[in-house]
Structure 1
Amino acid sequence: MTTLFRNALVLAMDDEHRAEPFRADVLVEGDRIGAVGPDLPVPDGADVVDATDRLLMPGLVNAHVHSWEALFKGRYDNMPLELWMLLSYPILGLEPMSDRLVYLRTLLVAMESLRNGATCLLDDVIESPRQSMDALDAVFRGYEDAGIRANCSGNIVNRPYVDTIPFSAEVLPADLLAKAHEVPPRSTEEYLEFSREALARYDGRAGRLRYVIAPSGPQRCTDDLFVAADELSREHDTTFHVHVLETKMQAVTGREFYGSTLVEYLDRLGVLSDRATLAHGIWLTDSDIARLGEVGASVAHNPISNLKLGSGIAQWRALLDAGVNLGLGSDGLSSNDSARMFDVVKSAALLHKVTHPDYRTWPTADEVLWAATRGGARSARLADDVGAIEAGRKADFVVLDLRSINFTPVNDVPTHLVYVENGDSITEVWVNGQVVVRDGRCLLIDEEAVLDELRGLAGEYLERYAKIEELNRAFEPHFAEIYRRCCSEPMGINRWSGDERAWVQGAAAGEGGA
């Protein structure tokens, strides 16, 4: 199929123009951009679209999302990560979600992503209590059917959750510790065997799907698993995707478990490289940031999730100045609580304006849009294929109506996209040279049927899930004590907007707390 967009306003995000819009024709040939320029000749049989009132921009790349959480959006609030995880990723009593529900859940994430202009995502797929190949197959089928470009992981945790939390052996009662150790984690060899099969089945499927290697976090996996996973990632040139230093508790964890920061520990294992993407990276030290820049690593910045869970504020300017590649992610649909990437774009631009009075260091619209497109593409090992409207790249782009409310009147287009646009102006979304969204509707799936079936199955599932939440609330007061203790630990850095010491002292005196 060949389509020529005539006289579009193009925000190419290529090396030459970055976020500076210009007028041009855009030729789509098959699954790629054939040419970008003025007055392009019309190929035989091409569809010609008058795009005078349209803006074409690369599809947004969601550098970090968890589809597991799609059933829990709007369910939790005012809990830090480690307490929130007790309910959203329970330790006790959880049974696997049905493969059908996994498939529908995946479609829900894809629908919301595509409608809001995200053409590519990295789904760090976590299935509790453990992932099966059938469940992973349901994820890949969902993304294939919806038409989105997706990198999907086999997220692995091979240490019991309580063993990943500092001071848990001191604080948790013996009976709870024993219950938490009843389910044996997957071994390193089991994970490698699973991943090799997944790579053979899914990597490159439909020309837009990949399987990626994603050990959950340094404190959550054994040394041998991290080293072996990195070797497998090198062998297949996949992203090495890992959660690092999302919270202060994790900063304390590095010191207590390894006598160093978690980045220093990963560096000793030899797993830091330009393939590595660190999700969050909030509680990084200056030396951590410098090292990530030296190896060319990426950080997937998740501003909305970090705000909701009270995790802290990542060092945007320091990361960029050090040469760290930044992508933007929504994170999970329970800690965000959506996959809407234009929300993430605006939040990333706003959050870092309150960290320092020097306005010259605040994020620019150009930088934020780069992170949302090219930065995310690089973090997903897709730097040569997506993230820009440029000849030879995949035809993954978004068409927006310049006559919409959000662009009336038109001032500075990049600023409109960062601060004004919310997805309402999108008229079409293209992935791999195919229209997958038109006028707010996904074209490749029956949205009403998906939502109707999902409401029924999810309702039944959540009724059972409420009992599991109650079972796991037994851990809550003990984890709250560990949280308070970690907050009181001096670490030499502070990534909150305020000083935690007054709260810690008040909580210790019984005046408040988690």
Structure 2
Amino acid sequence: MSKILIHNATILAVDNAHGTTPFAGDLLIEDGLIAAIGTNLVPPDGARIINGRDRLVMPGLVNAHTHSSETFFRGRYEGMPLEIWLLYAYPLLMNDPIGKRLLYLRSLLLAMESLRNGVTTLCDDFFDPPAHDLDRLGTVFRAYEDVGIRANVSSAAMNIHTLDALPFARTVMAAELQSLLDFGPPMTAEAYVDFCKSAFDSLHGRAGRVNFMIAPSAPQRCTPELMAACMELAIEKHVPFHTHVLETRTQAITGHALYGKSLIAYMRDLGLLRRNTTIAHSVWVSDEDILLMGQAGVSVAHNAVSNQKLGAGIAPLRRLLDAGVTLGLGTDGVSSNDTARIFDVMRIAGLIHSVSGPEYDKWVTADEVLRMATIGGAKTAMLEHITGSLEIGKAADLMILNLRSYPFLPFNDAAKHLVYAENGSSIETVMVAGQVVVENGRLTTVDETAVFAELAELVPAWLEEHAELERRNSVFAPAMAEIHRRAALAELPLHRYQGDLPFHGTPVRRG
């Protein structure tokens, strides 16, 4: 592998020694790893030398939670809470699965946009109903392998009927509509684990950077047997147990309605709060929930943009951080966010939590947000020993930004510039495992123009088919709207949800 010396740069390591304080120096890359960091390093024979003057070198960003299956729905939906939006982005009534070429291009497009915007690692909670197919999962792996990104990829599972995972659903939905939702026998825990073991055997570790992770969709959507089997395998394989918990108020009602306790307490009782546990969202968590999460050492992927677009609420970041919960940042899918840019999530996360109350010394800081976007995200992916910071022996997953650009002039504080001013426009070079995948702002691994042309040719017809699917599924919208309304009116033990989150502080009560 080639050797690269980045000379005389401003380095932002996000390591234990320097944190988010930049320093001047050189960085040597050999065999895809960071071999040395220092000053006046001597370039080895044959090394490529990159002039780092007026350049910032920092770890690549980590997208801790996204869904490649939404990539073609950019700019398609708005003004819908999650329970209604799901009808259109993840329809109950389905067509045949997307064709393999479009499946490849859809995954490729997400990775291309990610790399162009400094994301070197993504966690793709890939959902591909109606069945788990190793060849189709392999198509996603191949796209990420080809483009050069680091990725954790799941084949998300659920085996509880949608209507049995929602409060009020069987009551509010007409019987004739319920009869349309016959999905056949549910998948068993044994069948899913067998599939996952096959994925580990044939796909895990492809190109040394594309891995398989375990992803039961949510505790209310999976049987205890399935979740227990998933956790056992996740621990055995040292990969995340990646799931969705308490994204919306409806889900907060769900736990109490179905189990007589919060979904976090339910997971605790099932032994599902572990170091391997990565929770997407964690918006409607109580103080008791947060205590359990911190004690267990779980991680949370905070989706600041998606949560606002779907009206889910504002996650209590300060309380989660204070409890010892590891925080990463996720875009969520491109449909509920409309970009794959973690820089957007950083800015929103840095701003929105300032509404948490008058105690401004508790507001989330730019340094904390930057850590979430890098080493925090790597920890949620259980990849902190590989990526997330610039340290000797770690993979050379990094980006180089031009400091002679609008977001950095005049240059004051690196973390604040990156969180509040940068949007990816200053990126010149991106590397993954020492391979230059973006140079002079252009991808080196794929022909962007050719990919865009093929997408323009193939996607419109597929979207026409999807529009018909949306019309078919719209018959369920009134019932989902009523579920959302009833959840908004239902009583919760709301004293548990107060603290740094005034969004929850003025509940609508029945009567």
The residue correspondences of 1:267-286 to structure 2 (distance < 5 A) are 267-286=268-287
**Contact 1:328 / 1:371 at 8 angstroms: preserved in 2?**
yes
- CA drift of 1:128 comes to 3.1
Match of 2:164 in 1: 163
Tell me, in whole angstroms, the C-alpha distance in 1 between the residues paired with 2:32 and 2:113: 23
Task: Give 1:412 shift.
Answer: 1.3
Does residue 1:317 correspond to 2:323, yes or no?
no
Amino acid at match of 1:385: I
Is 2:235 the counterpart of 1:228? no
Question: How far has the Cα of 1:2 moved from its partner?
Answer: 0.8
CA contact (8 A) 2:299 2:328 kept: yes
Aligned to 2:352: 351
Secondary structure at the residue paired with 1:445?
coil
Aligned to 1:394: 395
What is the distance in 2 between the residues matched to 1:350 and 1:385? 30
Structure 2 residue runs of 5 or longer lacking an equivalent are: none
Cα offsets for 1:451-489 (capped at 9, x unmatched): 111222211111011111111111111111111101111
Give per-residue Cα distances to partners, 1:314-352, cap 9 Å, x unaligned: 011000000000000000110001111100111110110
* Matching residue's letter, 2:265: E
Shift of the alpha carbon at 1:190? 1.8
Query: What SS does structure 1 have at the residue aligned with 2:373?
Result: helix
Match of 1:139 in 2: 140
**Aligned residues of 2:290 and 2:319 also touching (Cα < 8 A):** yes
SS of match in other structure, 1:242: strand
The 5 A counterparts of 1:34-73 are 34-73=35-74
For residue 218 of structure 1, give the secondary structure of its aligned residue in structure 2.
Answer: coil
> Map of 1:331-480 to 2, 5 A cutoff?
331-480=332-481
Question: In structure 2, how many angstroms separate the alpha carbons of the residues matched to 1:70 and 1:27?
Answer: 36
User: CA separation in 1, counterparts of 2:9 and 2:294?
Assistant: 37
**How much has 1:442 moved relative to structure 2?**
1.1
For 1:288 and 1:272, locate their aligned partners in 2 and report how far apart those are by CA, in whole Å.
11
Cross-structure match for 1:511: none
Q: Judging changes above 3 Å, is the alpha-carbon distance between structure 1 residues 156 and 496 closer, same or farther for their aligned structure 2 residues? A: farther
Cα distance between partner residues in 1 of 2:506 and 2:267? 28
TM-score, scaled to structure 2:
0.97
Report the CA distance shift for 1:135/1:232 in structure 2 as closer, same or farther (over 3 A).
same
| Structure 2 match to 1:100 | 101
Q: State the one-letter code of the partner of 2:179.
A: A
Asked if structure 2 preserves the Cα contact closer than 8 Å seen for 1:122 and 1:152, the reply is yes
Give the whole-Å Cα distance in 2 for the aligned partners of 1:394 and 1:129. 37
Q: Is the 8 A contact 1:155 1:215 kept in 2?
A: yes
Which residue identity is paired with 1:172?
A: M
Q: Distance in 2 between matches of 1:498 and 1:238?
A: 33
**Per-residue deviation, 1:130:** 3.3
**C-alpha distance after superposition, 1:359-409 (max 9, x if no partner):** 101111110000000100011111111011111110000000011121121
For 2:170 and 2:141, the matched residues in 1 are separated by 39
Give the whole-Å Cα distance in 2 for the aligned partners of 1:386 and 1:325.
Answer: 16
Equivalent AA in structure 1 for residue 66 of structure 2? V
Is contact 2:357-2:502 (8 Å) kept? Answer: no
Given that residues 356 and 502 in structure 2 are in contact (C-alpha distance below 8 angstroms), is that contact kept between their aligned partners in structure 1? no
Q: CA deviation at 1:193?
A: 1.3
Q: What's the CA shift for 1:79?
A: 0.5
Number of aligned residues: 505
Q: Give the Cα separation in 2 of the matches to 1:9 and 1:111.
A: 26
Cα gap change, 1:322 to 1:166, in 2 (>3 Å): same
Q: TM-score scaled to structure 1, two decimals?
A: 0.96
CA distance 1:496–1:162, change in 2 (3 Å): farther
- Post-superposition Cα deviations, 1:91-112, rounded to whole Å, max 9, x if no partner, equal 0133211111110000100011
Contact 2:132 2:195 in 1 (8 A): no
Q: 1:497 aligns with which of 480, 486, 503?
A: 503
* Structure 1 counterpart of 2:125, one-letter code: D
Distance 2:11 2:220 in 1: 44
SS of equivalent to 1:35: strand
Contact kept in structure 2, 1:311 and 1:496, CA below 8 Å = no
Q: Percent identity?
A: 49
Aligned counterparts of 1:468 and 1:184: Cα–Cα separation in 2 = 23
CA distance in 1, matches of 2:214, 2:383: 15
- Would you say the 8 A contact 1:428–1:439 is kept in 2? yes
Residue 356 of structure 1, CA deviation: 1.2
Note if contact 1:313-1:496 (Cα within 8 Å) is conserved in structure 2: no
Contact 1:12 1:58 in 2 (8 A): yes
SS in 1 for 2:207: helix
Q: 2:20·2:367 contact (CA, 8 Å) conserved in 1?
A: yes
Aligned-pair CA distance for 1:132? 1.8
Runs (4 or more) in structure 1 with deviation over 6 Å come to none
Contact 1:374 1:383 in 2 (8 A): yes
Matches within 5 A, 1:498-513: none
- Cα deviation for residue 245 of structure 1 reads 0.3
Matched, 1:246 2:247: yes
| AA aligned opposite 1:159 | I
Change in Cα spacing, 1:498 to 1:278, as seen in structure 2 (3 Å) is closer
**Shift in CA distance, 447/183, structure 1 to aligned 2, threshold 3 Å:** farther
CA root-mean-square deviation: 1.4
**Aligned-pair CA distance for 1:498:** 6.9
Structure 1: stretches of 5+ with no match in the other structure: 509-514
